[in-house]
Amino acid sequence: MTDVRTTAHQVLVENGITRIFGNPGSNELPFLVDLPSSIEYVLGLHEGVVVSMADAWAQVTGRPAFCNLHAGSGTGNAMGALLNARYSRTPLVISAGQQVRGVIGMEGMLANVDATMLAKPLVDWAAEPADAQDVPRALAEAIHTAVGRRMPTYLSVPYDDWDVECSDNARLASRRSVTVGREPTAGQIRRVVDLVQAAKRPVLVLGGDIDTDGLNDRAVQLAERLGSPVWAAPSLFRLPFPNRHELFRGVLPAGIAPISQALASHDLVVVLGAPVFRYHQNVPGDFLAEGTRLLQVTDDLAAAARAPMGEAFVAEPRAVIEALLGALPSTHTSHNHSIPDEPSCAEGGTHPEEVFAALRKRMPTDTAYIVESTSTNSSFWKQMDLRHQGSYFFPASGALGFGLPAAVGAALAHRDLGTGRHVVGVIGDGSANYALPALWSAVNLGVDVDIVILRNGTYGALRWFADLLDVGEVPGLDVPGMDLTRIAAGYDLPALHLPDAEALDELLAVPRPEGPRLLQIDTALTQP
């Protein structure tokens, strides 16, 4: 006899699932019985940590990540992390245990009566099979949808389904494959090429999908062929272009009027691999200046459909970039990369720029940075020199609690891939407290990661917003009295409190020990 559980495990194996990131509860334990040896279970101590680890792992490896969460309560704990995964377009498959079928309607303990509705706003597909025989097929659909649409999916399964004998028809799900093709037609490509060639002052706006798809180098070639400036799309979660390249203008401000002003001198704005646009600050104005035309290229139909202006072309950005490179004349112009200025200093404390200057100077040039220190964004970009694909990750929805577990997940991914790339988490003291159990995961997994805590005793980004919104002094902005090194000691994580950036520089100058470590340094409050 082959039961539903065995067939479901076969579905995972046939679709290349090698890890399950999870925090199980009673409802999930039957699913984990006799897990195949090819699948490793990665335990996280909080569901938000589980999903953020999986999110970063999937982004780095380019493979779908599978998460196992505890019913509705565990799903609720993971919602912020799931929101990040949605906006980073991460192929994440979430499974959650459900009560036995006979007590769901009675709302028995740990029953999730509207399981699909709980996750539905944040995932591209959610289901709870109406019959145990449909569980393997639904699981396959969850995986294929996550990969094909590059979005999280969610599957709730009553735990008495796993021991049900599986029919021959149901077992077919383990042998199903899905191939997605998004190649545009020759006529569609010609339309894009004509628009770009006709433009007198084009500008490129690149989104995180360019980095996700490994297109950074080709984007550089395209910009150099066009001789056009390059902006990163606002609310950036991955860096698609070398930030010190002479054509790079920075990250677009996340307000309507500032974006319009930044692009006003151009007759054509070509947006590649990004929504149009993910605004944040409320700065009203015209979406586009008079005489400015916008062309968006994305494989995300939803992003194309909801844009408020311009022309959208739904296709793989890769195909469009290659077509443009084939149509534009080759150039041999040498382009320079600027050298960062000397870091700013701060009275009575270490300026964050000094920390980032030390990291830039001492860390390998291909270091992957997971950043969740929102009040130091401007300092980070002023000092860092990032030229490699996959060098920058940020919580895509702004949901805090991403940084610590994502740093662990990224380090685990690079170890799995054998890249040898080092990972550094740059985390604010306020942000770190959203996901402290990730420190245990770092130790338990033994990953090589440096966690750099910038401690300023306040929610610096909120203080900036308080000024922006003109609300004055409001409660809840300060978080004094924390020492993350003492918390790290409780997780058996090596940790040091460094007095200043000079001490950090000296520490980073010597070979680091294997495994994870936490480095805490007090910094002055700065503007994001």
> Residues with catalytic annotation?
25-26, 28, 47, 70, 280, 398
In the chain, what's the furthest Cα-to-Cα distance?
73
User: Rounded to the nearest 5 degrees, what angle is found at the Cα of 448, between the Cα atoms of 446 and 449?
Assistant: 115
Q: Is 334 exposed, middle or buried (0-12, 13-18, 19+ CB in 10 A)?
A: exposed
Residue 16, CB half-sphere, CA atoms under 13 Å: how many? 11
What residue type is 105 in one-letter code?
G
217 DSSP 8-state letter:
H
The answer to whether 212 and 59 are in contact (CB under 8 A) is yes
- The token pair at 258 is 């500032």
CA-to-CA distance for 6 and 31, rounded, in angstroms?
Answer: 9
**How big, in percent rounded to 5, are the helix, strand and coil portions of the chain?**
40, 20, 40
Residue 216, CB half-sphere, CA atoms under 13 Å: how many? 20
Residues 6 or more apart whose Cβ sits within 8 Å of residue 398: 84, 235, 280, 374
CA-to-CA distance for 209 and 162, rounded, in angstroms?
Answer: 37
The answer to whether 292 and 264 are in contact (CB under 8 A) is yes
CA torsion, points 448, 488, 375, 355, in degrees to nearest 10?
A: -60
CA torsion, points 128, 131, 132, 137, in degrees to nearest 10?
A: -70
For residue 311, what are the CA distances in angstroms to 181, 269, 277?
A: 22, 10, 13
Residues 6 or more apart whose Cβ sits within 8 Å of residue 360: 340, 383, 384, 385
Q: Which of 461, 329, 489, 323 is nearest to 400 (CA)?
A: 461
User: Rounded to the nearest 5 degrees, what angle is found at the Cα of 374, between the Cα atoms of 400 and 84?
Assistant: 35
